[in-house]
Amino acid sequence: MNEKSKVEPPRLVVFVGGFDPRGGRYYHRLCAQQAKLQAQVDRTVYSVGELKALQMSEEGKAHSAWSLGGSSPGACEYVFFDWTDHIRAHWPKSLYAVCKAGLRTYAEALISWRSLRSLGAALPYTLLAFAYPLIFMLLLGSLGAACFYGVWHASADWPWWSRALACLGVVSVIGWGGKKLDGLLHISWLLRIFNFARSSARTPASGTTEQERIHDMAQWLAQRVRQQPDLELVVLGFSVGSAQSIKLLDALSDALRMSEVEPVKDRVTLLTLGNCIPLFSFFPTAGSFRSSVSKVAADPEIYWVDISSPGDSVSFGMCDLLQLALPGASPADESYVNPRHMCTPRFHKLFEPRRYRFIRRNKMRMHFQYLMASEKAGAYNFFAMLTAPTTVRKYVEKFLVR
């Protein structure tokens, strides 16, 4: 067979996004914008197809899909796994409700102080990011109390109602300033993620909307594998979606076994970007999730690579992931074959120093860099990786594994 007659296996990428209420329309627009910017850096062409609805079942919520192509022939099928309705159900509009739930989250976290100590030893900056909202709430509360006390005593000669209005006004200004600062620093976004990790650990293993959505997607993927044995299946879990992708791979493994599909080593590629997996296995009630992590880690049909930056303080990059996610796991346990590699995207090499410092200061912007264009060409390239003429696995091994 000559080179022209060779046809590359079809590629299906399932993107499982983070704890973000924005749906497929937003991420399709982000993909198109960033692909255009990255094409200018790479001096090539990336094409993003039109947004389409993908219905798994008559009752289920529709996911989103589009095509993503590069300079090589063919384009991959890109599916946005939509679980935004479940996110919105855990997204209180009131900051008071977020902070109130946050206090419960920190109280339960302190019960697992041994895990906190292990996290601090392995990733001190991530532990600091975990404490960041609590520190902010305590400082803001202390400032409000101090100002209330100061104004109340400074206005001792005023009528009581004047003193009360003055104190209320000062506290209101501090609260307004705290809300504006939160809009810049995205502190409540971090706290919402931590709260969701706690509530997710308490959710029953079956019967929820989230689990039904995962089950439907696993069944659909198993059917695609049966229909296309040469399909290159890539499950891409970003941020909190890394934990959801673990659950999806666990369900997919069960679906493939029930379908009596012949086991194939490295059948599925799992890419986790900016992973938050230990956060979701952290709480004592997260036994079901820890079981899923253990199953995926021991499954030779899954080729799992984590790409997370140590500079991204809200992810768990370049650490002993299994030791943090499964505290009882032995490093010498040979039954665990995953993750095969822990890679860093080396973001600092993709930007000029001044621009990189700006990105580092904004935690949300830094966290989203995995999905965005770079300023300079480098080893990590989201669009080149997913549109590579070779398999995604070979691309990662060639450019990112060190």
> What whole-number distance in Å separates Cα of residue 141 and Cα of residue 139?
5
Nearest-CA neighbor of 103 among 191, 172, 199? 191
pLDDT over threshold 70, residue 9 = no
pLDDT tens digit string along 104-145? 999 999 888 878 888 888 889 898 999 999 999 999 999 999
DSSP H or E run through 110:
helix 95-111
Q: Residue 268: what pLDDT? A: 95
Q: Residue 5: what pLDDT? A: 42
Nearest-CA neighbor of 10 among 316, 308, 225? 225
Q: Residue 1: what pLDDT? A: 40
Helix or strand or coil: residue 254?
helix
pLDDT over threshold 70, residue 332 = no
- Kindly state the DSSP code that residue 16 receives in the 8-state scheme: E
> What whole-number distance in Å separates Cα of residue 162 and Cα of residue 395?
69
Q: How many CB atoms lie within 10 A of CB 150?
A: 12
Helix or strand or coil: residue 271?
strand
Q: What is the largest CA-CA distance in the chain?
A: 96
State the Cα angle at 81 between 78 and 87, rounded to 5°.
Answer: 145
- Mark out the alpha helices in 112-159 (DSSP H runs): 113-122, 124-154
- Looking only at the bridges linking them, the beta strands covering 52-54 and 47-48 are unpaired
Q: Are 199 and 90 in contact (CB under 8 A)?
A: yes
Query: What percent of the chain stands above pLDDT 90?
Result: 76
**Arithmetic mean of pLDDT, 21-40:** 97
> Which residues 6+ apart lie within 8 Å of 198 measured at CB?
101, 104, 105, 108, 109, 283
Nearest-CA neighbor of 371 among 349, 345, 390? 345
pLDDT tens digit string along 55-81? 887 677 789 999 999 988 888 999 999
Which residue(s) pair with 238 in the sheet?
A: 273
pLDDT over threshold 70, residue 204 = no
284 pLDDT band, cuts 50/70/90, is confident
Tokens describing residue 222: 């198993």
pLDDT over threshold 50, residue 197 = yes
Q: Are 316 and 237 in contact (CB under 8 A)?
A: no
Q: What are phi and psi of 277, to 5 degrees?
A: -60, -50
